[in-house]
Amino acid sequence: MHDKTLTELAAGLRAGEFSSVELTRAYLERIEQFDTDLNCFISVARERALASAERADARIRDGSADALTGIPIAHKDIFCTSGLRTSCGSKMLDNFVAPYDATVVARLEAAGTVMLGKTNMDEFAMGSSNETSFYGVVRNPWDRTLVPGGSSGGSAAAVAARLCGAATGTDTGGSIRQPAALCGITGLKPTYGRVSRYGMIAFASSLDQGGPLTRSAADAALMLQAMAGFDPRDSTSAQQAVPDYSGQLDADLRGLKIGLPREYFESGLDAEVAASVQAAIAEYRHMGAEVVDISLPNSGLSVATYYVVAPAECSSNLSRFDGVRFGHRCEQPKNLEDLYKRSRSEGFGAEVKRRIMIGTYALSAGYYDAYYLKAQQIRQLISEDFRKAFGQVDVIMGPTSPTTAFAIGEKADDPVTMYLSDIYTIAANLAGLPGMSIPVRPVAGRPVGLQIIGNYFQEGKLLNVAHRLQRESDWHLAAPVGF
């Protein structure tokens, strides 16, 4: 059962080929078998999952089931879940149990999904390799010596290893798309505001966006359908109607204009990754799409801009973790200042501390105009580049990551090199645009991702474009050896 896509699992449940309880037990057994090695999960909710599966089976029997009813999924451990630990991959929240569900969790539960547990992640979503988690490194199921990408690496690795039917993730600078590329699955970052951030623990509030990690675009359409929509509890939630994503999947691509930014194919991109991406784009030509050379002249500034804006926002958001109200508290503090200092020093890891310090510096008196304000101005230039590009083309394509998955520890001591792993994904977050990564031809047995970026609220177009390639190829169906 575990080798089926969401659409196939849903069909099997409706046909009575297996029950949700049987399916859930099968995934729980796989988690027990493989996760000791992969370390995808921080928490596994076995009894809760089986109880949910029993309720799902009842809904299927009485005819009130939705498209996802009975499907076992996992949530990135950044989404609050009532009664189950939400750690954000940090010692700071190792003891935190939220009193409510995030909107994403609540909506997927209402759709009838079964939550298997919470997946591992870079601490507070800060990382590109899933090496900064308090709970240890996540390993890539394609090769356990490699990173799965981050920060949603636990979710991506769990989907790739068939430990769940699908998973949620968050994307602040590429943290859905980059691990999807490195693990050979499909990952979608919706338009900023399309999916509610209520109950999603904040890293950088103007950049964070939740989305699905799945095996196929058709599966992503099902997940996004349940996740998307206006939420009055989130002040950044967009009041936009949610279209029928699955109904748009098979639209004809003849006449589609694909933009190829010349900046995405210059120095820094692995030659074999470039060849794989170009081969996929050639398939679109065969389907009747037109390829247009474009320029995003300010895209080279996106990494520098991001690493001012995101740390500035994280330094503000993470100030709430002070040892007073919730989270880690140091032992026997001498006074209030000692409580703050030691609780934060003990609770946060090295990468989180680095970004808090950078952000605090950028926001400090005398430096705000030189760094944060200037970064916001460049952010507007990057957004304007995209606006001009979408006056010429329907979608923009290029590599998701400049390389395939790298070795665990290879970049751990070089933060700048690590940050460049997101060089092609960050601009979409700065502009608030939707983007996704889908698997294309692998290189030396390692997955490669094709990135597709769309105009605002054009997730349906992205899913259509991705699905049409997946109808013509089977790269998205490939599984790591042994899984």
Residue 137 has pLDDT above 90, yes or no: yes
What is the rounded distance in angstroms from the CA atom of residue 79 to the CA atom of residue 212?
13
Q: What is the amino acid identity at position 194?
A: R
Reported as type and span, the H/E element at residue 436 is: strand 435-443
Q: How confident is the model at residue 427 (pLDDT cuts 50, 70, 90)?
A: very high
CA angle 475, 480, 481 (to 5 degrees): 125
Whole-number mean pLDDT of the chain?
A: 96
Contact criterion met (CB below 8 Å) for 100 and 196: no
Q: What tens digit of pLDDT does each residue of 65-108 get?
A: 999 999 999 999 999 999 999 999 999 999 999 999 999 999 99
Percent of the chain with pLDDT over 70: 100
Beta strands 210-214 and 186-189: pairing type?
Answer: antiparallel
Residue 20 appears among annotated catalytic residues:
no
Taking alpha carbons only, the member of 18, 44, 21, 20 closest to residue 31 is 44
- pLDDT at 134 (0 to 100): 98
Contact criterion met (CB below 8 Å) for 423 and 268: yes
Cα distances (Å, whole numbers) of residue 463 to 125, 167, 448, 454, 467:
25, 17, 18, 10, 6
The single residue of 151, 302, 315, 421 carrying the catalytic annotation is 151
Residue 417 has pLDDT above 90, yes or no: no
pTM of the predicted model as reported, rounded to 2 decimal places:
0.96
- pLDDT at 187 (0 to 100): 98
Residue 437 appears among annotated catalytic residues:
no
What is the rounded distance in angstroms from the CA atom of residue 338 to the CA atom of residue 344?
10
Q: What tens digit of pLDDT does each residue of 437-483 get?
A: 999 999 999 999 999 999 999 999 999 999 999 999 999 999 999 99
Q: How confident is the model at residue 1 (pLDDT cuts 50, 70, 90)?
A: confident
- pLDDT at 267 (0 to 100): 81
- pLDDT at 366 (0 to 100): 85
Q: What is the DSSP letter of 218?
A: H
Contact criterion met (CB below 8 Å) for 79 and 195: no
- pLDDT at 413 (0 to 100): 86
On the 0-12 / 13-18 / 19+ scale of CB atoms within 10 A, 143 is: middle
Q: What tens digit of pLDDT does each residue of 302-359 get?
A: 999 999 999 999 999 999 999 999 999 999 999 999 999 999 999 999 999 999 999 9
Contact criterion met (CB below 8 Å) for 459 and 434: yes
- Per-residue pLDDT, averaged over 223-248, amounts to 97
Q: What tens digit of pLDDT does each residue of 198-218 get?
A: 999 999 999 999 999 999 999
Beta bridge partners of 114: 72
Q: How confident is the model at residue 238 (pLDDT cuts 50, 70, 90)?
A: very high
Beta bridge partners of 213: 167, 187
- pLDDT at 412 (0 to 100): 87
Read off the tokens for 389: 């590009």
The single residue of 87, 175, 302, 437 carrying the catalytic annotation is 175
The single residue of 43, 76, 87, 155 carrying the catalytic annotation is 76
- Starting at the earlier edge strand, list the strands of the sheet with 446-454: 41-44, 114-119, 72-76, 166-170, 210-214, 186-189, 435-443, 446-454, 395-399, 257-261, 290-294
Cis peptide before 151 (omega within 30 of 0): yes
Q: What tens digit of pLDDT does each residue of 274-303 get?
A: 999 999 999 999 999 999 999 999 999 999
- Name the fold adopted by 6-255+468-477: Amidase signature (AS) enzymes (3.90.1300)
Residue 316 appears among annotated catalytic residues:
no
